[in-house]
Homo-oligomer: A and B are copies of this chain.
Amino acid sequence: MTTAPKSPGRPRSSVDAEVFAATLRTVEELGYTRATVDRIAAAAGVAKTTIYRRWPTKGALITACLVDAFGPPSLAGETREELLAETIRWTAAKVAEPGLGAAFAGVFTDAVNDPGLRGLLSTRFQAPYLAALRDALGESDRTVLFLIDVVVGTLLHRMGMTGEPMADADVEALVAMTRGVLS
């Protein structure tokens, strides 16, 4: 290994990827609260200012990390019921990835008392899924927002109570239950 990771000539996307990976590792290891920007910077091998130049707060960093890890909405399924079911299974698999469930739960906790962070989460993270699901399911924003609360909230609460992702059988119970919400 050379000292390349600190080279100023490195492309931005590569620094981003390294910081996101370090963020998830640190959250997985220490938990959301103890995963400070200081510790994340140390784990990524970058200066703290490198992080703050890109993301002014820990909440902004975690939001960007979630956007990167979840990626664009992937909507598969022949029928609306199948599409909803596949989306729920995909969300459950994402929340089960190391560090991702804890980062997700943590950022929502901070958002309860932080309007700026709620705005970021809503516009940068949730909005594309809301729009894609609204169009694919042909449901109102209100119904899709309700479904997002139910699916994500249930998965994160299970993780908080057991420290484990939800078992497949319970994910299928979630699929069966939410089918009734479609109009």
Query: A-side interface residues toward B, CB under 8 Å?
Result: 27-28, 30-33, 101-102, 105-106, 108-115, 118, 121-122, 126, 142, 145-146, 148-150, 152-163, 166, 170, 173-174, 176-178, 180-181
Contact = CB atoms under 8 A, between A and B. Distances in A.
Q: Can you tell how many copies of this chain the complex includes?
A: 2
A49 to B, nearest CB: 23
Contacts of A161: 108, 111, 118, 121-122, 126, 145, 148-149
Nearest to A28: B113
A126 B27 CA distance: 25
Nearest to A160: B108
A122 to B, nearest CB: 6
The prevalent SS among residues of A at the interface is helix
Given A122-B161, A149-B157, A177-B181, A109 B112 contact: no
Contacts of A28: 113
A26 to B, nearest CB: 11
